[in-house]
Amino acid sequence: PEPQRARMEPMLKDEELDEMEGQRRSPPSLTWDATETAARLKRGTRMQLSYWQNRIGLWNHKTFGGGGIERAFGLIRHIRKETYEVETEVIILETYSVKSAIQKVLHRIAMEMADIFILLMALAYRLDIDLEKAVEIKLEINRMRKWKKPNAEGIIEHVEED
């Protein structure tokens, strides 16, 4: 029989990851695997996306509590807001020519992008999606696609296949 999938409790601390190494579970294909992450960290492997998903997800849950699907919608709206802030800063960046001013704007853009990353990791954690695995799969799909020319807004979409 397959081992039972043990959902990691949201209140786990980073140091408790080591204890999880011996636990086995059988996650769905895109479900994040804390056991695998703990083993990688113990081997000294560089921090992977799954490490950040766990660390941010645990912090987010501890700081903001549960909330289920309604919390997921709040995270999505917040990602949209932060994306707009990045766009606004890039528009501002276009107008600057002084290096010190450009560096300040780039710093603000980096911080807004970090907000988006943090929110995305929290969302993936709350929905129990292994984002690292999803990115690997999606990148392979995108590599095999044909792409259109940029539209008037600069958006490049893939050619729809029948």
Note the pLDDT of residue 40.
61
This prediction's pTM: 0.68
Decide: 25 and 38 in contact? Cβ < 8 Å. Answer: no
Note the pLDDT of residue 73.
93
Note the pLDDT of residue 103.
86
Highest mean pLDDT among 21-35, 62-76, 132-146: 132-146
Question: Quick check: 112 pLDDT over 50?
Answer: yes
Q: What is the pLDDT of residues 72-111, one digit of tens each?
A: 999 999 999 999 999 999 999 988 888 888 888 999 999 9
Q: What is the pLDDT of residues 10-52, one digit of tens each?
A: 334 444 444 443 443 333 344 456 676 666 666 665 558 888 9
Identify the sign of the CA torsion 134, 136, 139, 144: negative
> For residue 130, how far is the Cα from the chain centroid?
9
Decide: 158 and 147 in contact? Cβ < 8 Å. Answer: yes
Note the pLDDT of residue 70.
81
Note the pLDDT of residue 24.
36
Note the pLDDT of residue 26.
39
Q: Mean per-residue pLDDT for 101-125?
A: 93
